[in-house]
Structure 1
């Protein structure tokens, strides 16, 4: 089906946007009107999908918060037009709209729709919660541009960047690809994150989102274990790296050690997430490498290597002596 998408502010939005939301959310799903219409409508961009004969079939909204996070909501396809890929086309159009503007997209998904959003690279990032009497899950995509670009590949991904499900490797050959792939892996970690690198480079690791993802794993997941294994802690001390605060405040969950140079060390950096996620760079000073979201065999091999280096490593005395 050929679709076109039209974008409006709430002040100039046609009545059909309200009509579609009324039909789907209020009439069909029994959402109370006072919950359906909210102040967010005033600050959001609103989209309508129309067919080749200008028939409106779906709507959605997109807005950005002060922390530069994008939020997708109120996605609705009229019942008589479902099952034709319209919802997926609308979602991907919204992701394209957000490209270059935000690197983190959030949405609230009804429980039955979780697999639908996973097909477009959104992962679950909360437990179930009630919204207007309907079970929901918070979901996010930390690499909307990379995911969107993957849709045109010859071999489409079934669930791009979903830990344990996406079995195709993501090749890395540009600096800007490293952080979103790394964040997408860490954002889905449930217990283990092991990182090995020469140092915690400013561009890759001294970022608010990296810090926040580590903090969330350490604070909110039982028995979580974050291990950082590096060769040089000097830059951490000099720059007051954002990871330093976490190391001091969450010492039982986040640990940093220095490689013992008297023992063999791996010649390239890597990140391991739980039992299936991996990101490998072939050299310390270049981005080239790959990421895998369902690569348990490689994770096991690298975990054995990491453990051997970890067992002979030593703590950072300089970081231990820094005041809070």
Structure 2
């Protein structure tokens, strides 16, 4: 598509940026001006999309309040240019701009626009809420670099239950992004099998927050951790242990019984569709799939057998509060 997208600070942004937002949000969607114009404009990068003859088409903004997280917002395409793919081009440009710097992207989406954002790697992560009289949901992308590299090749990248293609990984950063993307979309069940709960992998703030959010969601939440060795948990006082103590009815850890057959490869299962599978306990190599109910069913059956034969951790039980 023959367009140009230029980046500006708020102080140097041309009048077109304000004009487009005024036309789309304030005049067309009846957003109160005091809500549209906020302090965030001062700290955000503003993007203006224009045609080859400099005709303005649309705008968006990108800002960060946390080291690893960026926010996309105020995306607007003028009515005369809608339905032509300009919005998707602008969104993917913003994702690609942020991908190298941030490991998480967030945005607030109007309810009718959810499929639009899903096509660019975002998934819903909140209940419906009202913003300026318009129904919204929060959405996020937890692996923006991988998603941006795959633009144009997958209809709904990393969407649980929809994206049927495998995502291969051979580095810890890619594995972490995929693991978070799978775990972050679980609605009820998250089952993890590994040699141990490696601190760098499983004691990260984001992963703990994803697990905590799932465990607290409702009384049927089911988070199970099945490992071979619990000594590192005690030695370094793993924060996941604290989480289990606060949510004992929603989270449980067991040790495998080596007298029974056990799997040679670690895996993570989310609901009945998502899987992250490693080829080796000691290497970040494997694949993730977001819609593979057949494989997940087989691995869940294996997990259940190991779980039933497993035992609780005496080490954790004896750990002082």
Q: Distance in 2 between matches of 1:263 and 1:131?
A: 54
CA deviation after TM superposition for structure 1 residue 309, in Å: 0.2
Aligned residue pairs: how many?
Answer: 321
Q: Distance in 1 between matches of 2:215 and 2:68?
A: 24
1:109–1:139 Cα contact (<8 Å) kept: yes
Partner of residue 46, structure 1: 46
C-alpha distance after superposition, 1:64-100 (max 9, x if no partner):
0135321110000011111121111111111111122
Superposition map of 1:189-268 within 5 A: 189-268=186-265
C-alpha distance after superposition, 1:26-71 (max 9, x if no partner):
1111111111111111111111011112221110011101353211
1:92–1:120 Cα contact (<8 Å) kept: yes
Partner of residue 299, structure 1: 296
C-alpha distance after superposition, 1:222-272 (max 9, x if no partner):
410000000001111111122121122111111000000111100100011
* Structure 1: runs of 5 or more not aligned: none
C-alpha distance after superposition, 1:272-322 (max 9, x if no partner):
100100110011011111111000000000000000000010011111222
Q: Partner of 1:48: helix, strand, or coil? A: strand
1:164–1:276 Cα contact (<8 Å) kept: yes
Q: CA RMSD in A?
A: 1.0
Q: Partner of 2:269: helix, strand, or coil? A: strand
1:150–1:157 Cα contact (<8 Å) kept: yes
Q: Distance in 2 between matches of 1:16 and 1:87?
A: 16
Partner of residue 139, structure 1: 139
1:122 paired with 2:119, answer: no
2:219–2:250 Cα contact (<8 Å) kept: no
Q: Which moved more, 1:208-217 or 1:62-71?
A: 62-71
Q: Partner of 2:46: helix, strand, or coil? A: strand
Q: Distance in 1 between matches of 2:68 and 2:154?
A: 27
C-alpha distance after superposition, 1:184-237 (max 9, x if no partner):
011111100000000111221121111110000001234100000000011111
TM-score (normalised: structure 2): 0.98
1:190–1:221 Cα contact (<8 Å) kept: no
Provide runs of 4+ in structure 1 moved above 3 Å. Answer: none
Q: Distance in 2 between matches of 1:100 and 1:236?
A: 32
Q: Distance in 2 between matches of 1:58 and 1:184?
A: 29
* Structure 2: runs of 5 or more not aligned: none
TM-score (normalised: structure 1): 0.97
